[in-house]
Amino acid sequence: MSGKEFFTARTLAEVRAGFRPARRTPVERVPLSEALHRVPAADITAPAALPGFARSTVDGFAVRAADTYGASDGLPSYLDLIGAVRMGAAPTVAVRPGGCVAMPTGGVIPDGADAVVMVEYTAETMPGTIEVTRPVAPGGGIVRADEDVTAGGVLAPAGRPLRAPDLGFLAAAGVTTVAVHRRPRVAIVSTGDEVVPPETVALTAGQVRDATASALAGLVADAGGEPVIAGIVPDEPGALKERLAELLADADLVIVSAGSSVGARDETAGAVAALGDVWCHGIAIKPGKPTLLAECGGIPVIGLPGNPLSALVVFGQVGVPLLWRVGGCETPPPQPGVRARLSRDLASAAGRLDVVQVVVRDGVAEPIFGPSALLSVLTRADGYVIVPEPATGLDAGTEVEVVLYR
């Protein structure tokens, strides 16, 4: 790939819309206890209506709503107390005109009743007689038998990661196993003669411990993937191609931390091009412009810049959405955010999207700057601000959306 091609960078919007590999992980069944954040492969439907019976939402008295019309403090309605409903049991009495039945929250609505009046608006003026001081409309204080979900209704949609409330909903419906996409297996390979394993005790001049692979593994796990740190490939002709061919056999996504030099980038591009199709090499984003996207045998491959900050920022913008998609989720879960005012001007070049790290204090976003080789810029940040491609910068005091790190 020529230098001219490299510097014809695609925008982030073009990448997200255009680079959409068809790869999806296979489906497996897991118990509900292991289903949190997993992605259903198909809509999960209710075998029966929920809650399954009409139930009271308040403590009070089951009534015919018409018997309470016009009731007030000055002119209450008087109803005969004809029984009570116990929790967890079917009613043994029915509500007749002019009568009522004592109800606990969650109790089954007896036949003949169409509402429950709250106990706060009642009083037992004499044994067996209930005074009602406020009217209730039909359906008041009641949940219908199918109000949570109808039989065959969707409990959890396909393609959206399951959250804690979803697990409760599934349990309530008696669904104890779910068909979900397998977690994507993500191979992370580092390159460069200067890169050594993190456990290296003493560094010689020019050596750096591989920090990027560990950080990428964390991002992969956070996005629902299974990271596999696949070691370090030296700068030898053919070595990266050979290692990639091995990794592609058992991965759903491959990440190459490709080094920062032009030579390292060329070696990565050449190795990937020999095994598949390069979709683009260069994204109009700062930091992270020298990013490569490709498909090799149906497996997406991301070539990241070697500088840790650049690699992690661009992987968050490009790799994380791709990873979710491979795992069956078309729309990644949104990250938390907060509105804040910029503490200073932010310069930017038109046509390039800038990702700026910030610290947020008392509603003010303070940008953090530093070389792309410094991980400390990321570890000090609370989140980041996007300066979009058309902008030439943002003025101090501008209200911005800060995407927060979890």
Q: Is residue 371's pLDDT more than 70? A: yes
Q: How would residue 5 be classed by pLDDT, with cut points 50, 70 and 90?
A: very low
Query: What is the percentage of the chain residues whose pLDDT exceeds 70?
Result: 96
The answer to whether the beta carbons of residues 366 and 396 sit under 8 Å apart is no
Percent of the chain clearing pLDDT 90 (strictly above)? 85
Q: Within this chain, do residues 32 and 19 fall inside the same structural domain, yes or no?
A: no
Q: How many domains does the chain have?
A: 4
Q: What is the CATH number of the domain that holds 355?
A: 2.40.340.10
Q: Residue with structure tokens 């995407």?
A: 403
Average the pLDDT over 336-340 and give the result: 96
pLDDT at 53: 96
Q: Which two tokens stand for residue 66?
A: 């018409």
Per-residue pLDDT, 373: 75
Domain span at 102: 55-143
pLDDT, average across residues 27-45: 98
Distance CA 294, CA 302 (A): 7
State the DSSP code for 149: B
Query: Averaged over 351-375, what is the pLDDT?
Result: 92
- Transcribe 281-344 into DSSP letters: E-BSEES--S-EEEEETTEEEEEE-SSHHHHHHHIIIIIHHHHHHHTT-SSPPPPPEEEEEESS
Question: Is residue 1 in some structural domain?
Answer: no
Mean per-residue pLDDT, 390-397: 90
Q: Is 7 within the bounds of a domain?
A: no
Domain contains 2: no
Regarding whether 83 and 42 lie in a shared domain, the answer is: no
Question: Are residue 240 and residue 288 in the same domain, yes or no?
Answer: yes
Split at pLDDT 50, 70, 90, the class of 32 is very high
- Looking at residue 372, its pLDDT comes to 76
Angle between helices 262-275 and 239-248 (to 10 degrees): 50
What is the Cα–Cα distance from 284 to 165, expressed in whole angstroms?
Answer: 39
CATH number of the domain within which 258 lies: 3.40.980.10
Q: Are residues 364 and 379 in the same domain?
A: yes
Answer yes or no: do 205 and 323 share one domain: yes
- Flag whether pLDDT at 211 surpasses 60: yes
pLDDT of res. 274: 95
Asked if 303 and 283 sit in the same domain, the reply is yes
Confidence at 2, pLDDT banded by 50, 70, 90: very low
| Residue 261 pLDDT | 52
Distance CA 230, CA 342 (A): 40
Query: What is the rounded average pLDDT of the residues 211-218?
Result: 95
Q: Is residue 172 part of a domain?
A: yes
The C-alpha atoms of residue 330 and residue 160 are separated, in whole angstroms, by: 8
153-157, 260-264, 288-292, 380-384: range with lowest mean pLDDT: 260-264
* 318 and 384, same domain (yes or no): no
Average pLDDT over residues 151-168: 97
**Residue 331 has what pLDDT?**
87
With respect to residue 4, please indicate whether it lies within any of the assigned structural domains: no
| Inter-residue contact 311 to 213 (CB < 8 Å) | no
Using CA atoms, how far apart are residues 53 and 56, in angstroms rounded to an integer?
Answer: 10
The amino acid at residue 121 is: Y
Q: Tell me which residue of 389, 338, 341, 337 sits closest to 367, measured CA to CA.
A: 341
Q: Tokens 């004809």 label which residue?
A: 82
Residue 267 pLDDT: 82
Confidence at 401, pLDDT banded by 50, 70, 90: very high
pLDDT at 391: 82
The answer on 291 and 170 residing in a single domain is no
- Number of helical H runs and strand E runs in the chain: 9, 28
pLDDT digits (tens, 9 = 90+) for 108-117: 999 999 999 9
User: Do 80 and 165 belong to one domain?
Assistant: no
- 259 pLDDT band, cuts 50/70/90, is low
Average pLDDT over residues 274-290: 93
CA distance 118 to 71: 13
User: What span, in angstroms and rounded, lies between the C-alpha atoms of 380 and 387?
Assistant: 20
State how far the Cα of 32 lies from the Cα of 40, in Å rounded to an integer. Answer: 12
- CB 198 within 8 Å of CB 182: no
Taking residues 79-105, report their average pLDDT.
97
Q: What is the pLDDT of residues 308-334, one digit of tens each?
A: 999 999 999 999 999 999 999 988 899
Distances (CA, A) of 76 to 99, 113, 180: 14, 19, 56
Instruction: Classify 149 in phi/psi space as left (phi over 0), alpha (psi -120 to 50) or beta.
Output: beta
Q: Across the chain, what does the average pLDDT equal?
A: 93
DSSP string for 338-390: EEEEESS-EE--TT-EEEEEEEEETTEEEEE---TT-THHHHH-SEEEEE-TT
User: For residue 263, what pLDDT is reported?
Assistant: 60
Tell me: do 273 and 191 sit in the same domain. Answer: yes
| CA gap 267, 287 in Å, rounded | 21
**Region 345-349: what's the mean pLDDT?**
90
Structure tokens at 222: 């956070």
Domain annotation covers residue 6 = no
Check whether residue 347 and residue 304 sit in a common domain.
Answer: no
pLDDT band for position 4 (50/70/90)? very low
In this structure, the answer to whether residues 68 and 168 fall within a common structural domain is: no
